[in-house]
């Protein structure tokens, strides 16, 4: 921006016939273009070697002074692109988002032997090594909370200042119980459609799909869905989701069927924040139960939001994150 202004300013001065309004308009365009260039310069992206291939990452605010924040997306099989809504809301620290192997912009070897929790923990270790993240915070959303909690239990916690678990899956049985509670809050006709087709396994029936969409409109995105420019052309991996979770939101049949870490949550020795939307699939009451099992933890509820809080209420979500991280760092 500093190099563009002088030459453009000389050009404008030479055009003496222009009105002052046009001069101001050109000046505004220059400032906007310059600021856009600066924003672009404050991000970089690349690929990191992990077991089985390379994964895509993007870092915002690479020169900011705060302790870096690593964002872990949901799924299994979703992508990190929706975290783009936080780019201009968390600016006091480097913020790293990445796509797990076999999804988003990362390599897609399709090796199901790597679709296990231990592999996704290894990805965090690889990211820390590649980006030299000696100190960091981790935020995991939904399935990303599963990965973040597992890293807190079995990973290298040296320098891990805190973990934020946003609507995390920490117990498959508990998740399925919560799903049934939420289904029971829907209109009776939709309840019957969901339960009938769940029992029959007819997940592609149009009535079942419509009822599932109605569930999502209440508990996944509680607000009208937003366009996320970073997600344009970025695809998830439904095969991974079906393999690890199952073909239906309400009943797990995949490799995560027996997953449950509630008996180990007391081992998390770092500060932990649990976030849930007021209408989250990961019910606020369940987050309180988890918090009671984690020694140094607290819960924040995002009003009028569903499971994907950073999409429903990005500003308020970022405020929760910024406030918590500032508090943790003030105690270091």
Task: Examine the domain organization and report whether 11 and 36 are in the same domain.
Answer: yes
Task: Examine the domain organization and report whether 11 and 70 are in the same domain.
Answer: no
CB 253 within 8 A of CB 198: no
Whether 306 has a pLDDT exceeding 60, the answer reads yes
Q: What is the pLDDT of residues 29-55, one digit of tens each?
A: 333 344 443 444 489 999 999 999 999
pLDDT of residue 13: 33
Whether 11 has a pLDDT exceeding 50, the answer reads no
Task: Examine the domain organization and report whether 18 and 56 are in the same domain.
Answer: no
- Rounded CA gap, 165 and 144, in Å? 8
Q: What is the pLDDT of residues 67-119, one digit of tens each?
A: 999 999 999 999 999 999 999 999 999 999 999 999 999 999 999 999 999 99
The residue from 142, 162, 171, 297 that is catalytic is 142
Whether 204 has a pLDDT exceeding 70, the answer reads yes
Pairing, β 43-50 against β 53-60: antiparallel
> Can you give the CATH number for the domain in which 187 is found?
3.40.50.1820
- Rounded CA gap, 88 and 61, in Å? 10
Q: What percent of the chain has pLDDT over 70?
A: 88
Beta-bridge partner residues of 139 = 71, 164
pLDDT of residue 14: 35
Residues with Cβ within 8 Å of residue 104, at least 6 apart in sequence: 56, 73, 79, 80, 81, 234, 235, 236
Task: Examine the domain organization and report whether 23 and 127 are in the same domain.
Answer: no
Could you give the number of structural domains in the chain? 2
Whether 261 has a pLDDT exceeding 80, the answer reads yes
Task: Examine the domain organization and report whether 133 and 25 are in the same domain.
Answer: no
Task: Examine the domain organization and report whether 49 and 35 are in the same domain.
Answer: no
pLDDT of residue 296: 96
pLDDT of residue 8: 33
129-145 average pLDDT score: 98
pLDDT of residue 52: 97
- Domain assignment of residue 17, given as a range: 4-40
pLDDT of residue 42: 84
Task: Examine the domain organization and report whether 98 and 224 are in the same domain.
Answer: yes
Task: Examine the domain organization and report whether 109 and 18 are in the same domain.
Answer: no
- Rounded CA gap, 38 and 248, in Å? 44
Task: Examine the domain organization and report whether 22 and 126 are in the same domain.
Answer: no
Task: Examine the domain organization and report whether 193 and 153 are in the same domain.
Answer: yes
pLDDT of residue 226: 82
Residues with Cβ within 8 Å of residue 163, at least 6 apart in sequence: 137, 138, 139, 140, 148, 149, 151, 152, 268, 270, 271, 272, 273
**Annotation says 307 is catalytic:** yes
CA 68 to chain centre: 15
Collapse the DSSP code of 156 into the 3-class scheme (helix H, G, I; strand E, B; otherwise coil) and give the result: coil
- Nearest one of 225, 198, 227, 229 to 211, comparing CA atoms: 198
The residue from 87, 102, 178, 280 that is catalytic is 280
pLDDT of residue 119: 98
Task: Examine the domain organization and report whether 102 and 25 are in the same domain.
Answer: no
pLDDT of residue 332: 80
Task: Examine the domain organization and report whether 20 and 52 are in the same domain.
Answer: no
- Nearest one of 143, 142, 58 to 106, comparing CA atoms: 58
**Residue 144 — pLDDT band, cuts 50, 70, 90?**
very high
In which residue are the tokens 């995002």 written? 302
pLDDT of residue 198: 95
Alpha helices per DSSP H over the chain: 4-14, 20-41, 117-131, 143-154, 172-183, 188-200, 206-219, 238-244, 284-293, 309-312, 314-330
Q: What is the pLDDT of residues 155-183, one digit of tens each?
A: 999 999 999 999 999 999 999 999 999 99
């Amino acid at each position: 921006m500093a190099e563009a202004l002088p030459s453009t300013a000389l050009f404008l001065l030479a055009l003496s016939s222009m009105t002052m309004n046009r001069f101001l308009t050109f000046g505004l365009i220059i400032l906007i273009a310059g600021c856009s260039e600066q924003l672009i310069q404050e991000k970089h992206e690349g690929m990191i070697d992990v077991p089985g291939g390379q994964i895509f990452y993007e870092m915002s605010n690479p020169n900011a002074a705060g302790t870096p924040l690593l964002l872990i997306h949901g799924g299994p099989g979703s992508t990190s692109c929706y975290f783009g809504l936080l780019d201009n809301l968390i600016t006091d620290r480097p913020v790293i988002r990445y796509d797990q192997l076999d999804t988003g912009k990362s390599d897609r070897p399709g090796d199901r032997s790597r679709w296990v929790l231990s592999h996704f923990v290894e990805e965090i270790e690889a990211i820390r090594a590649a980006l030299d993240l000696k100190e960091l915070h981790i935020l995991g959303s939904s399935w990303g909370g599963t990965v973040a909690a597992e890293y807190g239990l079995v990973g290298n916690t040296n320098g891990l200042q805190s973990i934020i678990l946003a609507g995390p899956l920490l117990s498959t049985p508990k998740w399925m119980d919560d799903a049934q509670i939420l289904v029971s809050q829907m209109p009776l006709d939709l309840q019957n459609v969901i339960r009938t087709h769940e029992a029959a396994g007819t997940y592609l029936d149009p009535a079942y799909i419509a009822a599932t969409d109605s569930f999502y409109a209440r508990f996944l995105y509680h607000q009208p869905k937003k366009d996320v420019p970073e997600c344009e052309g970025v695809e998830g991996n439904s095969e991974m989701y079906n393999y690890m979770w199952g073909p239906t939101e309400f009943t797990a049949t995949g490799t995560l069927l027996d997953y449950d870490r509630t008996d180990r949550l007391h081992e998390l020795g770092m500060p932990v924040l649990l976030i849930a939307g007021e209408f989250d699939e990961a019910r606020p009451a369940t987050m309180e139960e988890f918090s009671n099992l984690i020694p140094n933890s607290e819960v924040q509820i995002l009003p009028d939001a569903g499971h994907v809080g950073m999409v429903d209420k990005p500003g308020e979500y970022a405020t929760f994150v910024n406030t918590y991280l500032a508090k943790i760092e003030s105690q270091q």
